[in-house]
Amino acid sequence: MATRARRPERREEPLSRERIVGAAIELLDTAGERGLTFRALAERLATGPGALYWHIAGKGELLDAATDAVVVGALTAGPADAAPREATRALALGVFDAVEAHPWVGAQFARAPWRSPMLRVFERLGRQVRAIGVPEAAQFTAVSALLNYILGVAGQNAANARAHQERRPDTGRAQFLGAVSASWAELDPDAYAFTRNVAEQLRDHDDREEFLAGIDFILTGIAVRHGPSETAPS
């Protein structure tokens, strides 16, 4: 009688939204964005494609849920007692690192605007901008600038990852940048004088440092325009 005290379930583990999203993340990380298909996902979960639709509405919702899981993880860190500017840098770096670990997240940001993952980042950036002292009427503008920059970098990271993962799995980031840098050096000297000139800087740059430098440019611009007094504290 009663229920047979937690039978070993119908299979090892029943299908669930969490399990599906988890498998989707693994698939995205290992096989890239093109590797996530309902058929591959079903095979990995030892079921058929149709079963997945009982738990997830469609591919859009699946990508959304996967992105949200990654973003939530990236935003949990943070000491929170740092100075606003430092906290903003840490926050941005957290998103950057998450995108570098899961490049497909960068592409997803550009696909679904104002969904839950982006809202989380927006909110966190907003609190820092408010802490910095930006007047209320200018807060949306300041946060938008930061967010759009972060999204731009994320999107490019995703694109680069695709370029040297799906096309040539054997080449790494260094070879990829080296190849692009070499092609820049052979551009027309008149039409692409500047680009030729910075070909070496492309090859040798550090993504993280460049990203942070951009964040600092924007934060400085915000401080000059809206800061309490730039150098002297109030």
Partner DNA sequence: GACATCCCTGGAACGCCGTTCCAGTCTGGT
Partner DNA sequence: ACCAGACTGGAACGGCGTTCCAGGGATGTC
* Binders in 104-143 for its own copies, by CB under 8 A: 107, 109-114, 119, 122-123, 126-127, 130, 136-137, 139-143
- Please say whether the beta carbons of 26 and 20 come within 8 A: no
The entry of its own copies, DNA, none near residue 172 (CB within 5 to 8 angstroms by kind) is none
- Half-sphere exposure for 160 (CA within 13 Å, toward CB): 19
- What minimum distance in Å lies between the beta carbon of 38 and its own copies? 19
Sole binder of DNA in the list 46, 119, 131, 138 (CB under 7 A): 46
For position 171 contacting DNA by CB under 7 A, the verdict is no
The entry of DNA, its own copies, none near residue 47 (CB within 5 to 8 angstroms by kind) is DNA
For position 151 contacting its own copies by CB under 8 A, the verdict is yes
How far apart (Å, rounded) are the C-alpha atoms in residues 21 and 115?
Answer: 17
For position 75 contacting its own copies by CB under 8 A, the verdict is no
- Please say whether the beta carbons of 187 and 178 come within 8 A: no
Burial 117-131 (b: 16+ CB within 10 A, else e): bbebbbebbbbbbee
How far apart (Å, rounded) are the C-alpha atoms in residues 38 and 24?
Answer: 9
- Interface residue list for DNA (CB under 7 A): 3, 7, 10-11, 14-15, 36-40, 42, 46-51, 53-55, 58-60
